[in-house]
Chains A and B, each alone.
Chain A
Amino acid sequence: MNEFVEQFLIEGRELVAQGNDDLLALEERPDDRERLDGAFRAFHTLKGAAGIVDFVAMSRALHAAEDVLSAVRSNTAPVTPALINLCLACLDQVSVWIDRMRSNGEVPADADAEADDLVRRFATLASPDSAPLAPHDAADATKRAEASTGLSAIGRELLEAQKLMLSEPATEDAAAARLESASRIAANVLRHHGRSLDATDLEGPLQSSLVAGNAEAMIEAIDRILEGLAERPPEQPGTLAPQAPEATLRVDVDRIDTLVRLTGELLIAKNAIGHSAERAADEGDPRALAVALKNQHLALDRLVSELQRAVFSLRVLPLQHAFQRFPRLVREMATALRKPARLMIEGATIEADKTIVEAISEPLLHVLRNGLDHGLEEAAERAALGKPATATIHLRAERQGEHVVIEVEDDGRGVDVARVRDVARQRNAAPEAAIAAMSDEEAINLIFAPGFSTVSQVTDLSGRGVGMDIVRNTVERLGGRVSVSSQRQRGTTVRFTLPFTVMMTQVLTVEAAGQVFGVPMEAVVETVRVGRSAISPVGAARAMVLRDRTLPVIDLGQALGRGARAPEGDTNVLIVAVAGQLGGLEVDRLGDRMDVMLKPPEGLLAGIPGIDGTTLLGDGRVLIVLDLGEIFGNADD
């Protein structure tokens, strides 16, 4: 990827965020000249950026948006919800394009159709009279629909099938799963037809359907695709694509300087040890040498932990990264539920480890949605209680020592503790006696208990359409806690306490008996390739000689229950240090080094010896990290 594309991706993302921000503020205060200029400038600079990397389709789409905003600036057009929606949709598309470019550094080849669609929609907005109307001729309806929607016959059939499935009665969990699947299939059909923009727009109806607990919004959305009405009604705009991990980080110069300084000090420490080694070779006083070495070890120890802290501080991101899409999403969910609400964000500049910031987005979204859905009263109820018509949700972040605390606070009806106790009893979320003994503060937190929420069986780790227990699981996986407090009629606060840094363990992956395992890197001394004949049986065990030392060798495949192999050919042996002793671990293949967040084994794995912990791999598989102490300890028996 060349440096221009790299800079384009960084700047593009920032400009999309700035544009979103300005457009939302402009919607609230249509007369805010500064926001209008800001939004215009975001589109204008994005267009210029697209020109520099020769992304013609993106330039065209942005030019159309710029024209519309230009008309507003010269007071020849008003700020309307339709205008804001379309501009937001345009930024969504840009965001999708940027994501696609990030994967391979190439300008997306199929962007033209998507740009055409946007240009057409902007033209319709500018002069509604000239908009092409849907034909009313009844003849050859399929062909007409195909021409206007660009959908193939197979695509239509697939969409019809989803509608049928959605209209069937289903239990709550099955309904949620069906909605997700229908939305995925509809999105794929649209993407297949080069209409990724409409595909991302399905997120809105999906959220509405999940919140409302019926498939109506989703069925309507599919109907609109089938009827060729690309425009969504103004009350259901699209959403931003979910957060993907950033490949680049912006780093403070001060932090780089710290690293440079530490590197200098490490060099000095290294030289000092070299000097000691010379003294040892010259057969100096061993006692004095031991003192020198001890001091040097202390100095190194201090430097290494300082270096570790400095490196961790490079991985931080402001929470803004996770928060930036929430104003849009809250606006959409509030509109879909017809509960006016505004989101107030504080502390978006607070930083935390990149992993935490990226992983906390989904749980926060779930809590926000839950709050809007269950926490906020209907408009009439609010009016009767004398509460302001527009509800306020505060999202605030604060650094507290080694922790980052994030709170989501609403001014809704609060949690009904008696009802929580009832539901927990009905669903056996906790033993009857325990529930009765709980204080109100404790009982409220039963909402996080496994089995409390009816939809918690859907094993969707992303946190969408799942119960609060999944929120808690996700937060605990990050090494954090979540709790809820509430006052009747006053509101509810959900509080996340998260670690500022994440301890990463470096592992080496190895393969044995067709499975992949992780070995903690700190235990690995070296890897050698030896002839199998060099490993000889010693009683019931096996051993090999390495540089005049005899080491016990364990065949990992055999330890896993596979039969012993014939003593021919070469094999890979990992030389590991366990409790000060060296040992050999024979494996089929050596893999990569990787940094992982280790989780203690739980559930069925908890009882199995030899497992240090587990971690999720990028492709969703679970990597089991071996406890070498136990493996070699058992071998001694």
Chain B
Amino acid sequence: MGYRVLVVDDSKLARMAVAKALTTLHPDWTRVEAANADEALVLASKDAFDLAILDFNMPGRDGLHLAAELLKLKPALPLAVISANHQVEVVTRAREVGATFLQKPLTDKAMGEFLAAAADRLASP
């Protein structure tokens, strides 16, 4: 079955890259896009989705803060935080909130692993 994925990144190019990987791996999944944390939270309050992929470095609230907010709304939400920098601090904080850290540029392999793990979690209640 198709899941609904929330993609948040201030760069449209980056969202296009995520969308391409998603379409390649799971053509039947749908996605909603937001350019920042505020837009994402408005979407989250209106619409349900099954997993989220968030950029770390955005204007306003960063991806980790957004992750914490989203988890408040839906504690079991599988989440990935992506960043072009493999900073230990970001990786650790991601792990602490229960998000997967993914590095930019996104590879199909890393993305595939995250999506497979998320699908497993969503399938087993």
A and B associate in one complex: yes
State the A residues within 8 Å of B (CB).
3-4, 7-8, 11, 38, 41, 44-45, 47-49, 51-52, 66
In angstroms, how far is the closest chain B Cβ from the Cβ of A222? Answer: 39
Interface of chain B, helix or strand or loop or mixed? loop
**Complex alpha-carbon distance, A8 and B14, angstroms:** 9
The smallest beta-carbon distance between B116 and chain A, in angstroms, is 23
Of A49, A51, A52, chain B has the most CB atoms within 10 Å of the CB of A52
Q: C-beta contact mask, B79-99 vs A, less than 8 Å → 1, else 0? A: 000001100000000000000
A45 CB, nearest partner CB in chain B, Å? 5
Q: Is B59 an interface residue (CB 8 A)?
A: yes
Q: Are A49 and B57 in contact (CB under 8 A)?
A: no
**Chain B contact residue count (CB 8 A cutoff):** 14
Of the candidates A11, A41, A45, the one having the most CB atoms from chain B within 10 angstroms of its own CB is: A45
Contact A7 to B13, CB < 8 A, known contacts A47-B84, A51-B84, A52-B105: yes
Residues of A near B85 (CB, < 8 A) are: 44, 66
Q: Is B11 in contact with chain A by the CB < 8 A criterion?
A: yes
Q: Which residues of B contact A49 (CB under 8 A)?
A: 11, 13-14
Residue of B nearest to A52 (CB): B17
Instruction: Say how far B65's CB is from chain A's closest CB, in angstroms.
Output: 14
Shortest distance in angstroms between A94's beta carbon and chain B's nearest beta carbon? 14
Q: A8 contacts B13, CB within 8 Å? A: yes
Closest B residue by C-beta to A44: B57
Q: Which 10 pairs between the two chains have the least Cβ-Cβ distance? A: A51-B105, A48-B84, A7-B13, A52-B17, A48-B104, A49-B13, A11-B13, A45-B11, A44-B57, A47-B84
Distance of A417 Cα from B75 Cα, bound (Å) = 75
Q: How far is the CB of A159 from chain B (nearest CB, A)?
A: 40
Evaluate whether A45 and B105 lie within 8 angstroms (CB atoms) in the complex, with A7-B16, A51-B84 already known.
no
**Does B10 belong to the interface (CB within 8 Å)?**
yes
Complex contacts, A45 vs chain B, CB 8 Å: 10-11, 14, 57
Measured between alpha carbons, how far is A45 from B17 in the docked complex, in Å? Answer: 13
B12–A11 touching, CB < 8 Å: yes
Complex Cα distance, B105 from A44, in Å, reads: 12
B10 touches A4 (CB 8 A): no
A48 touches B105 (CB 8 A): yes
Query: What's the least CB distance linking B106 to chain A, in Å?
Result: 8
Cα of A38 to Cα of B59 in the assembled complex, Å: 8
Of residues 55 through 114 on chain B, the ones whose CB sits less than 8 Å from some CB of chain A are 57-59, 84-85, 104-105
